[in-house]
């Protein structure tokens, strides 16, 4: 990291010793990292929790350690091989359990805190490398502070979930791309390959990092930077190395389940398990926000369902209301199981609703869900009412939620300003966010954590814009003070 680098030829300003300038420059990143550490430790104390997804990953990790089997533990201790989760995070948990003790999720959170702070430093150095020459150091400092003090990524650094390591691996990928352009060679090519491959092993959508950033690694390189035959050879070897873990995973799935599955199934179901396609399609005809995901989508199956929990937009007519009520009653009486008849009933409702209003299903609702994932206050791990905007019910929570939403919009706006300034690799950063947003248009049940992976890009673009504004304001103030009329 070169956040504190200063030009040797720059003369010290009057009244300030030249030896003090590097000290002051070094103090800023130190304070930022300390502040970021304190924020994350506070969040670890207040927000840490082990959720259902964590238990799924942790169960697989424990079976890897105990039995060498990628499987769940079923009734009577019987192991059931699975492929519903990629092996990246279970392997990460298994390593942490081996070092710190099985089931020690707090230790996992500490490891992720360290990774998240390293990611902040990597993003700051990336900003220094891509910002215009006039304010590279300042953009790096602004990026570091934005990343270190962002509560949204810090929240997931302290949760035993894939979001924390994903942010780190994206930052490492971005940093490797910029470093490769400065010094093309095996070192940074292999770092990028490692980061991109590990990112894709965490979640199926992790492959978007490689799709968006890999072209930027090679495009724009000077022809004299590296001989073309060597570049081609390096590219082919990196592609093979990146694909190798997925070849092993695909072969394992073929051997165990006799199916071709190079990633993880979209249905999150193992072969032979029921898939409720009719229910999923019906939910897609009305689900718009995280409240519906939490209250309805996650409760099916195995939990009672209440018709009163559905929003008004779930019904287009009294007949649909009656039909939906009948399906809910049948589901509750069946012992909270989605039978083939119930699933077909939801499929019939979905067909009717889609035929009546196709634009709602194919355009307006997906766009609304995407907006919810980008703009909703990121409160899903906090003990705050899902109806956070109802001020009469909880004054303090509503005010806090609006402040959280405003902070989220602030990060988005300054990042938009950074795009207009067009730092190096801005196309790759934008491409990643656009690709991820396009993928999220296909999500039936929105969650705000699905856009957390875009924040490394927002930090860099925002840091460049923030310092550009500061730089311009300072220049204007100095000009005013230097003008004759100001004396």
Please report how the helices 105-130 and 455-482 are oriented relative to each other, as an axis angle in degrees rounded to 10: 50
Place of tokens 């969650």: 447
Structure token digits, residue 105: 């999720």
Tell me which of 114-128, 140-154, 384-398 is least confident. Answer: 384-398
What are the pLDDT digits (tens) for 192-211? 999 999 999 999 999 999 99
CA distance 284 to 456: 30
Mean pLDDT of all residues in 424-452: 96
Place of tokens 């599955």: 261
pLDDT at 22 over 80: no
Q: Output 31 or 472, whichever has higher pLDDT.
A: 31
- Residues of the chain with pLDDT > 70, as a percent, come to 92
Angle among Cα 169, 175, 179 to the nearest 5 degrees reads 145
Angle among Cα 410, 415, 419 to the nearest 5 degrees reads 150
- Residues of the chain with pLDDT > 90, as a percent, come to 79
Tell me which of 73-77, 253-257, 268-272, 429-433 is least confident. Answer: 73-77
Q: Which run of H or E residues covers position 73?
A: strand 71-73
392: buried, middle or exposed (CB in 10 Å: 19+, 13-18, 0-12)? exposed
What are the pLDDT digits (tens) for 293-332? 999 999 989 999 999 999 999 999 999 999 999 999 999 9
Q: What is the residue extent of each domain of the chain?
A: 24-266
Confidence at residue 221, expressed as pLDDT on a 0 to 100 scale = 80
Confidence at residue 28, expressed as pLDDT on a 0 to 100 scale = 87
pLDDT at 407 over 90: yes
Confidence at residue 483, expressed as pLDDT on a 0 to 100 scale = 64
Residue 287: which of 313, 325, 250, 253 has the closest Cα?
313
Is residue 421 a contact partner of residue 468, using CB atoms and an 8 Å limit?
yes
Tell me which of 57-66, 217-226, 324-333, 410-419 is least confident. Answer: 217-226
What are the pLDDT digits (tens) for 125-140? 999 999 988 788 899 9
What are the pLDDT digits (tens) for 153-202? 999 999 999 999 999 999 999 999 999 998 999 999 999 999 999 999 99
CA distance 303 to 336: 6
CA distance 199 to 167: 9
**pLDDT averaged over every residue in the chain:** 91
In this prediction, residue 473 has a pLDDT band, given cuts at 50, 70 and 90, of: confident
Confidence at residue 5, expressed as pLDDT on a 0 to 100 scale = 44
| DSSP count for the chain of H helices, then E strands | 19, 2
Work out the widest C-alpha separation in the chain, in whole angstroms.
Answer: 87
pTM over 0.75: yes
CA distance 169 to 191: 10
Q: Cβ contacts of residue 162 below 8 Å, gap of 6+?
A: 57, 88, 89, 202, 203
Mean pLDDT of all residues in 276-301: 94
């Amino acid at each position: 990291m070169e956040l504190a680098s200063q030009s040797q030829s720059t003369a010290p300003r009057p009244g300030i010793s030249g030896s003090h300038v590097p000290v002051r420059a070094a103090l800023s990143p130190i304070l930022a990292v300390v502040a970021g550490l304190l924020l994350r430790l506070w969040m670890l104390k207040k927000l840490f929790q082990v959720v259902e997804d964590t238990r799924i990953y942790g169960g697989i990790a424990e079976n890897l350690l105990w039995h060498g089997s990628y499987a769940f533990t079923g009734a009577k201790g019987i192991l059931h091989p699975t492929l519903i989760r990629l092996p990246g995070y279970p392997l990460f948990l298994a390593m942490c359990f081996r070092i710190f003790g099985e089931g020690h999720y707090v230790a996992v959170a500490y490891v992720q805190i360290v990774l998240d702070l390293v990611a902040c430093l990597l993003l700051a150095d990336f900003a220094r490398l891509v910002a215009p020459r006039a304010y590279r150091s300042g953009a790096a400092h602004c990026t570091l502070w934005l990343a270190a003090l962002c509560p949204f990524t810090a929240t997931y650094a302290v949760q035993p979930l894939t979001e924390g390591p994903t942010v780190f691996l994206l930052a490492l990928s971005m940093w490797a791309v910029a470093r490769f352009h400065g010094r093309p060679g095996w070192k940074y090519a292999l770092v990028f390959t490692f980061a991109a491959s590990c990112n894709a092993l965490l979640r199926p959508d992790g492959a978007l990092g490689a799709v968006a950033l890999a072209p930027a690694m090679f495009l724009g390189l000077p022809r004299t930077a590296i001989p073309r035959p060597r570049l081609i050879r390096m590219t082919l070897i990196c592609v093979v190395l990146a694909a190798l873990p997925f070849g092993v995973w695909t072969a394992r799935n073929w051997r165990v389940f006799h199916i071709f599955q190079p990633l993880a199934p979209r249905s999150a179901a193992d072969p032979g398990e029921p898939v409720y396609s009719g229910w999923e399609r019906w939910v897609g005809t009305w689900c718009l926000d995280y409240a519906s995901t939490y209250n309805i989508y996650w409760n099916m199956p195995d939990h009672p369902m209440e018709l009163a929990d559905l929003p008004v937009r779930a019904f287009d007519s009294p007949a649909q209301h009656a039909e939906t009520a009948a399906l809910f009653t049948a589901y509750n009486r069946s012992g909270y199981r989605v039978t083939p008849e119930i699933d077909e009933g939801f499929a019939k409702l979905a067909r009717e609703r889609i035929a009546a209003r196709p634009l709602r299903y194919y355009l307006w609702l997906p766009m609304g869900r995407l907006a919810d994932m980008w703009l909703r206050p990121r409160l899903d791990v906090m003990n705050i009412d899902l109806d956070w905007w109802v001020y009469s019910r909880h004054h303090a929570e509503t005010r806090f939620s609006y402040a959280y939403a405003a902070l989220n919009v602030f990060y988005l706006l300054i990042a938009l300003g950074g795009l207009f300034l067009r730092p190096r690799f801005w196309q790759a950063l934008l491409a990643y966010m656009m690709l991820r947003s396009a993928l999220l248009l296909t999500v039936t049940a929105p969650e705000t954590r699905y856009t957390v992976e875009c924040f490394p890009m927002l930090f860099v673009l925002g840091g460049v814009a923030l310092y550009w504004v500061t730089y311009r304001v300072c220049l204007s103030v100095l000009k005013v003070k230097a003008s004759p009329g100001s004396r």
